[in-house]
Amino acid sequence: SGSCEVKTCWKAMPPFRKVGNVLKEKFDGATEVEQRKTGSTKVLVPKNSQFKPHTDEDLVYLDSSPDFCDHDLKNGVLGTSGRHCNKTSKAIDGCELMCCGRGFHTDEVEVVERCSCKF
């Protein structure tokens, strides 16, 4: 009788958190570029000549993001004025970041809820 050997190969994605961390790192180091015509081809070069040329692994962008702080219906941005924020957070929900340097008012609220506690 004959024997058969099977070899199976596949590629798997790394954990989601790792992918997110790599993308965030690339986003933080992204370079704004512009198109320049060189002969019959177009190339992307850094908009600021002090930045080093990008590699095929770098993240680049042509247009700056809109200012999300201010109301701008043309770009579909509602702004952050009047939104609730977390005074103690350093993340995107934190008042320092969300209020864009405009300052903020704080309210202390006590919430009383009924619970089904049994003693």
What pLDDT score was predicted for residue 75?
Answer: 86
**Which residue range is the domain that position 73 belongs to?**
66-108
Instruction: Give domain status of residue 104, yes or no.
Output: yes
Distance CA(72)–CA(76), nearest Å, equals 6
**Count of domains for the chain:** 2
- DSSP strand pairing (41-46 vs 31-38): antiparallel
Q: Based on the domain organization, do 46 and 58 belong to the same domain?
A: yes
Among 14-23, 31-40, 68-77, 108-117, the least confident range: 108-117
Across 47-58, average pLDDT: 89
Judge if 59 and 20 occupy the same domain. Answer: yes
Does 30 fall in a domain?
Answer: yes
Assess whether 57 and 70 both reside in one domain.
no
What DSSP designation does 66 have? P
Q: Kindly report whether the global pTM for this prediction surpasses the value 0.75.
A: no
Token pair of 108, please?
């202390």
**Which token pair is 100?**
């864009």
Range with top average pLDDT, 18-27, 61-70, 99-108 = 18-27
Long-range Cβ pairs for the range 48-52 (8 Å, 24+): none
34 to each of 52, 66, 101, how far by Cα in Å? Answer: 14, 17, 30
Q: Are 100 and 69 in contact (CB under 8 A)?
A: yes
58 and 72 assigned to the same domain: no
Check: CB of residue 62 under 8 Å from CB of residue 45.
no
